[in-house]
Structure 1
Amino acid sequence: MKKQTHFSRMKILLLLIFVPAILLAQETITGKVVIEGSGVGASFINVVEDGTSNGTATDIDGNFTLSVSSLPVNIKVFALGFAEKVVSVSSTDAITITIAESSEALDEVVVTGLATSVKRSNAANAVASVSAEELAGLTPPQTLDGALAGKFAGALITKSSGAPGGGIAVKLRGVTSINGNSQPLYIVDGVYVNNSSIAAAGLNAVSGAAGGGNASNQDNPSNRIADINPDDIESLEILKGASAAAIYGARAAAGVIIITTKKGKRGKTKISFSQDVGFNTILRARGQRNFTAATAEALGAGNGALFTAAQNNGTLVDFEDEIYGEKGFISNTSVNISGGSENTLFYAAFSNNEEDGIVKNTGYDRKSIRFNLDHDFFDKKAKLSLTTNYINSEGDRGFFNNDNTGTTIGVALSSTPPWAQLSPDANGNYPDNPFGSSNPLQTRDLITNRENVNRFIVGSSLDVKLYENDNSNLKLVLRGGVDYYELLTTAIFPEILQFQKPSNGGLNGLVATGTTENKDANYSAFLVHNYTTSNDLSFTTQAGLTKQTFSRNTIRNTTSDLIASQTNLDQGANVSVTQFRQEQEDQGFFVQEELNYQDKIIGTLGIRGDKSNNNGDANELFYYPKASAAVNLHSFDFWNIDAVNQFKIRAAYGEAGNFAPNGALFTAYTNSLIDGNVGIVVPATLGDPDITPERQKEFEVGFDASFLESRISLEFSYYNKTVDDLILQANTEPSSGFGTRFANAGNLENRGVEIALNATIVEKEDFNWSSNLIFFTNESEITKLDVAPFNLGGFGAGLGTFRIEEGKSATQIVGNDANGNLVELGDSAPDFQMTWSNNISFKDFTLSFLWHWKQGGDNINLTNLLTDFGGTSPDYDDFDVDPAGATSNGPFRIGAFRAGNATPFVEDASYLRLREIGLYYNLPSKLREQVFGKYVSNLKIGFSGNNLINVFDYNSYDPEVSNFGSNGLSTGVEVTPFPSSKRYLFHLAVDF
């Protein structure tokens, strides 16, 4: 049920307005307004005699009485969150009016300032909105950021791990930084929410993933936005570009996602319960090589005989199915209670989400408790809002991705043939794997890689009306919020593992723990003044101050050479400790003026100023201006195109920033211990004390149009976004003692088009069909580079890597070709993306689905190479990679690697995917009352699924993959990942 509003604000005003009409009335209409589908009485809904000021509002049960001068008459029923309805009344018999909830009505208001909003019809920016129904109503998402895929234009959303719990990389309108943050800023009920991805302690000590090639984080942790329960969310607004996000200044270069959680509704207390159960399976298996005795023998002498014996004995094992073939159980339980009186609204919710992975001993459990309170006081001159959320989560993520020791499950699996005997004996003892450095079944069953999170997110706001008269008012807005979490990571590798045994060169067991304490706080104070002239020219002025503090302390402890089977950190011979601390404080101000002339011409001017101790000069203010204008041509008298009931043109410009990455400002020395003497070691990279934030500038133009009484709507936007002062690592003179230095040394540009088409195809009493089509593109270019071109985010030119080069795409993939020349082999950015969603209702049934087409975009697929080396690639013996058709795929790729030719490893990552589908049945009110009486106001059952149909030629588990986590440029690199999954869910939802 969406937010409802009163027709009038004060009982005295109601009497002053309606008493004259009542005195003249001759007829009395009585009735009830109910909500479509549930039959529940809709409280505080406006009921007005159409074309007049004669009206009333429904009571707490939805009943109303309205006096009119004569019959017949048209009655208009409306409230925010519901579709407006007009009914004809010709008698005084009691009537029932059914109204439908409307996400479009809810979305009419979008953010324009830190303390103001505007009707969507007047907005000058392309601000995307996602309602609660669109986000989680079709099928419950595993994580919030994953639920955004395909829901709006301008986003490239990529999984960095298929493990339950995330993570996800979200990029809005292209790449915004090379070394800095590229994920959007998340604001939840006014609270700046941390979305870090912090690697588990100790994994690299075992895998050695950063020991060669790219030293970036390859442990694929979840990102912390996964903690937010999607079911708590009422709506999201996505500020995709600087022209909209400038109000958030130096943290908004990558865009802003503003989240509003659910609040109470005036009326009877409502209790809702929902239960989802289901399972997940691997999205697509790679399959096995079709071995024969001869091909098995080619792997090594004696393997042919082993293969034949296992084949005859029926002991061949599909190890891919053995590892990834689980059906992970899913259970989502949610209970919420909401309600409110004239002055106080409350919403309380508890949820428990449990999802096992497609690999044994992996999964994600999240418990969330939320309480939101709104209270009006001083005769509604002041409003206090409080939002609180506690989250406890636990994720077991397995041991996957790249490694240089052959120990991760995926890498070990790549060289394990189906005749290997790896299962434990009757006493639970696992044999060593003669085909690899580890037994993947033993690793799966005995290691621990766990994340535990305890998190509190608390926000509050106080709105006080300081002054109010007929044409102006002044309001004070105070806001504050704290996001605090403790992240505990635990890695345990027992000494009995094959690769931990000292006889195999192991560490004799390893235990590692990491503790991260993170606290972010934000405070702001604003004055908002509204003034309207006699000719309906309105001014909205706001000005205010902001402050944000960010604190992180991460301590990692690693112990190896354990005593017996101990797992305490003090029960080992070799102990190491590392610590990372970061403190940041930002301060700023924001001033904005909004003008609106009769909803015909709307303009905005604003500026944000920020300073931070993360800049070279902590007291220097950096300014981020914004300006926008929109013209509703259809509101002018000259507009006479009946078929086009809305046509708005708009233009906007804005600037936003991105702080320097950690380590760019100062040169951080490290310690050394040589022959018992303590010293310091100079790092390879020199900091820059004069570093400044990266600056994004964006210009956007577009139009919005509606046709055939808003049955069809069209949105079009074109943007050009530049990022100046890119923070890069430049080569420096060797005599300085450093190899590289941080510097503001480049610019890049993004250009794109976004188109959204919405249509109400059929609108009848028992049958409705609405459809939404979204198309968008983005192209990037490095327009200036003050340093030499450089490679990053891969494993070198012989395997494919990203390259930053002036005049080229910021996401180009390069590598050596067959002739040894460094050439462009692809680009990780897609040519375009398109989504098509549909909602079809027939009587009490609803069918909804979302297709997502990503055309173009390339990955560096190194899983194939590893399985080639192991002789297990499913296509090893096929002949469709060698252009000459002379060499089979496996030997061709191995030969290319040895020759330094990266061409075979860059693959097209296009796909067509049925992201979501759901079929639901609402129990009719008559049948519901017969079975449950009047205690149950709504009962819904259904089925839904994620990723049930996937069409792609990409030669692995899923084109959505990233070995290097959820940040930075280097998404789209694959090295034996945790595979993605399909999800099947059955649903029950009951309202009391």
Structure 2
Amino acid sequence: MHRLLLLSWVLLMSCFAAVSAQQITGKITDKEGVPMIGASVFVIGTTTGTVADIDGNFTLNVPENAKKLAVSYTGFSTQNIPLIAGQTAYQITLANDGIGLDEVIVVGYSPVRRKDLVGAVASIASEDITRESGATVQSALRQAPGVVVQQSSGAPGSGFNVRVRGVTSVNADNEPLFVVDGVPVIAGSFAQQGVGGQSSNALADINPADIESMEILKDASTTAIYGSRAANGVVLITTKSGKAGKTKISLNSSYGFNEVINKVDVVDGTQYNQYLRERFGAGGDVIGGGGLDTTVSSNWQDLIFDRNPVQSHQLSMSGGDLKTKFYASLGYDNENGALNGTNFTRYSGRVNLDHRATDKLGVNFNLSYTNSDNKRIQGDNNIYGAVSAALLLPPQVPVRREDGSYGSVFGLENPVAATEVYDNHLVTNRIIGNISASYSLLDELSLKVKLGVDNLNLRENVFEPSSLQSTAQGLIFEASNLRTRIINEYLATYTDQFGSTSLSTTVGAIYQRDDIRRNSFETNDLPSDNFPSADAAATPAFTSGDKFGSTLNSYIFSANVNNGGLYVTASFRADGSSRFINNRWGYFPGIAAGYNFANLNPVGPFDLLKARVSYGQTGNNNIGDFEARPLFAGGASYLTTPGISQSQLGNPDLVWETTNQINVGLDMALAENRIGITLDFYQKNTSDLILNRPIPSSSGFGQVIANVGSMQNTGIEAAVTFETFNNADFSWTTQLSAAYNKNEVTELFNDQPQDFGFATRLAVGQPVGSFFGLETDGIYQNQAAIDADNSLSEDRDYIPGAAPGDFRFVDQDGNGIINDDDRTFIGQALPDVTAGIDNKLTYKGLELDFFLQFSLGNDVYNNNLAFAEGLNGVFAPTVRAFEGAWRQEGDGNMFPRIVGGASAENNRQDSDRLVEDGSFMRLKTINLAYSFEDGLIDRIGLQSLRLFVRGTNLVTVTDYSFFDPEVNSFGNSNVALGTDFLTLPISKSVVFGVNVGF
């Protein structure tokens, strides 16, 4: 009897065990019946899962309480498959997700499907990030609508100006916040030795090959959760992670060349000699004090620009199982600029681990290390710069004199010397990483804690030998800049389903601390160039050092509700910053709602028809750590007694710059999700601009920082993505994007304009980056025209000293005199419209993609013309200016006469003569690749083999007359935009490469 009972119990338990761990099988294909190799299959609500094999088949033991499977594959819509009692075999067909509606992206601190978004978010995938040669994080952002990316210099590793939906600040930062794997990273230019307007780029330390995707958060409902640093948008960077399955090893290697995008046609030796005689008469032959040699004709641009190599090598390994996944990589990049002597070298390494210790506990670890060396050359806006001298130095100067020294004249640097002997290295060692742990208290409630760090250690080493014009007996400059950022995050997330309504909420506390230490010194007068060390110098020029930092304490809340076709999201952040005194806390709310009219039933031809509206408030605290505080400095010595003095007035009532933004959008999908259309309208109003306000000089200071301004940005963005073809052999996807933005300054202190840069003026009613000067009305062709103008005034000449061949200026106030009161706005640096056309085509193993970039309606203040086409001094002019100079009546209205004195100064005044249309169309990237068939590469033991050739900046169509319209001599200035003064242009490149998978 006991044996019978025991046997019965064993049989019963076996039945329960069979029920609690039922085995199912299945096959996953697309609509064409092609197996989905590696498709993921997970039991919803558990960590149980597997991947499909080479035939698309899978086998899985599912728990007793399992109700649904989630089946996903890159490029296809995720499907939830109900588990039917008694059914053990499943045939699953995945539908193509042509425009990525089922793609899951991270917005703020929560993942969300793209089809559920109610904010304005643009995404860039990994293959699009690395499609550009010499790519950096910022360079890929120009593919997103509403994002203007300007590379201020063509030097490798140099800075970018990135503007998301316009300019929002004058004194604070206008760059978006960059967040890498949840860590807001340090960005900006931290070089302490200036080389003209060229800035350095801290984000060049991030290896683009390690990035899986980038999301650009543009509206305030998505950025408000980042609070006081989000007024300029947020860029979320997610690095690559491992996937369950066989370990994959990839080697990506490329080699190619950079060369200058354009050259400027300047006079040769014979033409320069003729120019000197016209300008100075018979005495022109002896101009230069013996520095000129009429027997030579140096083509300086050919001597400093060359076709220089660029190479990149990346090795990565990824894999894992359902519990532990890993990704590891090593990278080496070496880019020589088109300008000889410029170079950027980067060594990088990364390890990402994701471990599921138990069903409730998960641990994540991300760590990257970068060592970079940026070799810089004296840049623009600088008479010692290589490009500056190559344009202005006469061709009759020899490269080297008979004694071996570098030839020079008029105090200009020898361009070849600037590239050969000037030694400036900017060396960075950087660690970015985070470690986090998440624990599920309940199925609906999880806790997460994260520790993040960004440690940037930068060193500068500069040696200027005595053979350069910039120093008489040699110069040594050395500096260090150590920046450390620590982030602590504590988050709790609750997710639940109430009938057809899903709810996800997150609350958390975040603490950030930044510590900065800088030191620098300069010494002069070396005994010889063979002693390039500080202790050998006779004269210490200066020493400098400081230590400072800031803290930011934050509390966040977000909630996402999905009820059928209705989506609502709300967020709130409170930030407390040490940078303010009486107004330390700022509060930043955001809310958005959307409704998908095609959620239950298609509406006409639409698979998706979602209307969206959002509103939010963000801040900008990217000012100096002590801007609000009174400061004192040493150096105020009395005889031999050291002392201090006040160096800055404080303002304890300083508050945040605040931006309020409203966004109205519409998302549409048609033709089985093969066509996607996104439209957005926005308005951003920024108040409490932090500017310097004039104060009575009796205070001992001329200005004090205060909240005294406001501005507005209004714009429209549109993006259309469609799959023209998509079958087993041929696919063609096109994306069209365009954005219009209007910027306007709406308030300044007493509405008084402020001048920046050359002809840049900040004024109420005008956009930031407006040019201000005289308006020309042709060239005086005869004396009668001059006499007619002079008759308009009895007090003085219309233009004092004017003669035939000089510019005529418009008398704006009609008083018969040309003076500063006749200046007016003559152009703007910000484009009216930016656009892009992206095409991707595949035919069997052949791939072709190309991206066309457009910038329309922007002007460039071409200050080169005042020197290279001033026709008044000793600088070498351009060929077109020399040949087109006014010499007799009827010669035209473009170039004035060759003359000195007062007339020449009139002809070189800030005027619309120096403003040119900077609109352009550029073939930004083009890639051609071939992937070999599996059957062929299997024979040699490879998983994949792909050959490619890549071109960057190959074609530029523009009316701009100098090197490049995409320039800015003032680096990362907020307001002095679109000014070109002897700026190094960007490079065009062609590289050849191979991708190998093992």
Aligned to 1:374: 354
1:147 aligns with 2:134: no
Identify if the C-alpha distance between structure 1 residues 517 and 952 changes in structure 2 by more than 3 Å, giving closer, same or farther.
same
Identify if the C-alpha distance between structure 1 residues 221 and 580 changes in structure 2 by more than 3 Å, giving closer, same or farther.
farther
Given that residues 337 and 348 in structure 1 are in contact (C-alpha distance below 8 angstroms), is that contact kept between their aligned partners in structure 2?
yes
Aligned to 1:835: 836
Given that residues 77 and 96 in structure 2 are in contact (C-alpha distance below 8 angstroms), is that contact kept between their aligned partners in structure 1?
no
Matched residue SS, 2:882? coil
Matched residue SS, 2:129? helix
The separation in 2 between residues aligned to 1:871 and 1:558, in whole angstroms, is 34
One-letter amino acid of the counterpart of residue 635, structure 1:
N
One-letter amino acid of the counterpart of residue 827, structure 2:
G
Given that residues 251 and 314 in structure 2 are in contact (C-alpha distance below 8 angstroms), is that contact kept between their aligned partners in structure 1?
yes
Quote the sequence identity (%): 28
- What pairs with 1:625-640 in structure 2 (closer than 5 Å)? 625-637=589-601, 640=603
The separation in 2 between residues aligned to 1:884 and 1:524, in whole angstroms, is 73
Give the one of 180, 183, 186 matched to 2:172. 180
- What pairs with 1:626-705 in structure 2 (closer than 5 Å)? 626-637=590-601, 640-641=603-604, 643-659=605-621, 661-662=623-624, 663-670=626-633, 671-673=635-637, 675-683=639-647, 686-705=649-668
In the TM superposition, residue 606 of structure 1 has moved relative to its aligned partner by: 1.9
Aligned to 1:407: 384
Given that residues 200 and 490 in structure 1 are in contact (C-alpha distance below 8 angstroms), is that contact kept between their aligned partners in structure 2?
no
Aligned to 1:730: 693
One-letter amino acid of the counterpart of residue 732, structure 2:
W
Given that residues 164 and 364 in structure 1 are in contact (C-alpha distance below 8 angstroms), is that contact kept between their aligned partners in structure 2?
yes
Partner deviation per Cα, 1:550-578 (whole Å, 9 max, x = no partner): 11111111111222222222222322112
Aligned to 2:863: 862
1:585 aligns with 2:551: yes
The separation in 2 between residues aligned to 1:770 and 1:903, in whole angstroms, is 43
In the TM superposition, residue 710 of structure 1 has moved relative to its aligned partner by: 1.5
Given that residues 547 and 587 in structure 1 are in contact (C-alpha distance below 8 angstroms), is that contact kept between their aligned partners in structure 2?
yes
Identify if the C-alpha distance between structure 1 residues 893 and 848 changes in structure 2 by more than 3 Å, giving closer, same or farther.
farther
One-letter amino acid of the counterpart of residue 909, structure 1:
G
Kindly tell me the number of residue pairs found equivalent between the two proteins: 903
The separation in 1 between residues aligned to 2:612 and 2:78, in whole angstroms, is 30
Given that residues 835 and 851 in structure 1 are in contact (C-alpha distance below 8 angstroms), is that contact kept between their aligned partners in structure 2?
yes
- What pairs with 1:37-186 in structure 2 (closer than 5 Å)? 42-43=37-38, 45-46=40-41, 58=51, 64=57, 78-84=71-77, 104-105=99-100, 108-114=103-109, 116-136=110-130, 138-149=131-142, 151-186=143-178
TM-score normalized by structure 2? 0.85
In the TM superposition, residue 294 of structure 1 has moved relative to its aligned partner by: 2.6
Partner deviation per Cα, 1:400-450 (whole Å, 9 max, x = no partner): 1113xx32223323332223212366x8x2243135432222222111121
The separation in 1 between residues aligned to 2:298 and 2:266, in whole angstroms, is 10
In the TM superposition, residue 358 of structure 1 has moved relative to its aligned partner by: 1.4
In the TM superposition, residue 47 of structure 1 has moved relative to its aligned partner by: 11
Identify if the C-alpha distance between structure 1 residues 550 and 630 changes in structure 2 by more than 3 Å, giving closer, same or farther.
same
Aligned to 2:409: 434
The separation in 2 between residues aligned to 1:848 and 1:361, in whole angstroms, is 32
1:621 aligns with 2:621: no
The separation in 2 between residues aligned to 1:444 and 1:35, in whole angstroms, is 60
One-letter amino acid of the counterpart of residue 405, structure 2:
Y
Partner deviation per Cα, 1:289-330 (whole Å, 9 max, x = no partner): 2653533533655766999xx999995221111112x11101
Give the one of 853, 875, 881 matched to 2:880. 875
Aligned to 1:51: none
Given that residues 414 and 866 in structure 1 are in contact (C-alpha distance below 8 angstroms), is that contact kept between their aligned partners in structure 2?
no
The separation in 2 between residues aligned to 1:660 and 1:57, in whole angstroms, is 47
One-letter amino acid of the counterpart of residue 169, structure 1:
N
Matched residue SS, 1:570? helix
Give the one of 472, 477, 487 matched to 1:522. 487
Give the one of 396, 400, 422 matched to 1:419. 396
The separation in 1 between residues aligned to 2:214 and 2:16, in whole angstroms, is 35
1:384 aligns with 2:384: no
Aligned to 1:7: none
Matched residue SS, 1:949? strand
The answer for unaligned runs of 5 or more in structure 1 is: 1-11, 23-27, 49-54, 68-75, 87-93, 205-217, 502-507
In the TM superposition, residue 940 of structure 1 has moved relative to its aligned partner by: 0.2
Partner deviation per Cα, 1:65-108 (whole Å, 9 max, x = no partner): 579xxxxxxxx99414242599xxxxxxx999999997954972
- What pairs with 1:193-272 in structure 2 (closer than 5 Å)? 193-201=185-193, 203=194, 218-272=196-250
Give the one of 901, 921, 935 matched to 1:926. 935
Identify if the C-alpha distance between structure 1 residues 572 and 704 changes in structure 2 by more than 3 Å, giving closer, same or farther.
same
Aligned to 1:965: 971
Matched residue SS, 2:420? helix
Given that residues 267 and 395 in structure 2 are in contact (C-alpha distance below 8 angstroms), is that contact kept between their aligned partners in structure 1?
no
Larger Rg: 2
TM-score normalized by structure 1? 0.85
Identify if the C-alpha distance between structure 1 residues 262 and 967 changes in structure 2 by more than 3 Å, giving closer, same or farther.
farther
Aligned to 2:521: 557
In the TM superposition, residue 896 of structure 1 has moved relative to its aligned partner by: 6.7
Given that residues 464 and 475 in structure 1 are in contact (C-alpha distance below 8 angstroms), is that contact kept between their aligned partners in structure 2?
yes
Given that residues 748 and 810 in structure 1 are in contact (C-alpha distance below 8 angstroms), is that contact kept between their aligned partners in structure 2?
no
Matched residue SS, 1:725? strand
Aligned to 1:210: none
Matched residue SS, 1:866? helix
1:946 aligns with 2:952: yes
- Shifted more, 961-970 versus 730-739: the winner is 961-970
1:295 aligns with 2:290: no
One-letter amino acid of the counterpart of residue 407, structure 1:
Y
Matched residue SS, 1:153? coil
- What pairs with 1:704-783 in structure 2 (closer than 5 Å)? 704-783=667-746
Matched residue SS, 2:643? strand
1:465 aligns with 2:440: yes
Identify if the C-alpha distance between structure 1 residues 224 and 537 changes in structure 2 by more than 3 Å, giving closer, same or farther.
same
In the TM superposition, residue 517 of structure 1 has moved relative to its aligned partner by: 0.3
CA-atom RMSD, angstroms? Answer: 3.4
Identify if the C-alpha distance between structure 1 residues 977 and 97 changes in structure 2 by more than 3 Å, giving closer, same or farther.
farther
Give the one of 418, 431, 437 matched to 1:456. 431
Give the one of 240, 251, 254 matched to 1:276. 254
Given that residues 34 and 96 in structure 1 are in contact (C-alpha distance below 8 angstroms), is that contact kept between their aligned partners in structure 2?
no
Runs of 4+ that moved beyond 6 A:
12-15, 31-36, 94-103, 302-307, 310-314, 880-884
The separation in 2 between residues aligned to 1:573 and 1:311, in whole angstroms, is 33
Partner deviation per Cα, 1:29-48 (whole Å, 9 max, x = no partner): 7x797999xx9983353499
The separation in 2 between residues aligned to 1:305 and 1:95, in whole angstroms, is 93
Matched residue SS, 1:298? helix
1:492 aligns with 2:463: yes
Matched residue SS, 1:176? coil
One-letter amino acid of the counterpart of residue 360, structure 1:
N
In the TM superposition, residue 259 of structure 1 has moved relative to its aligned partner by: 0.3
The separation in 2 between residues aligned to 1:240 and 1:707, in whole angstroms, is 25
The separation in 1 between residues aligned to 2:885 and 2:327, in whole angstroms, is 59
In the TM superposition, residue 617 of structure 1 has moved relative to its aligned partner by: 2.8
Aligned to 1:4: none
One-letter amino acid of the counterpart of residue 587, structure 2:
Y
One-letter amino acid of the counterpart of residue 294, structure 1:
Q
Partner deviation per Cα, 1:755-784 (whole Å, 9 max, x = no partner): 000111112221111100001011111222
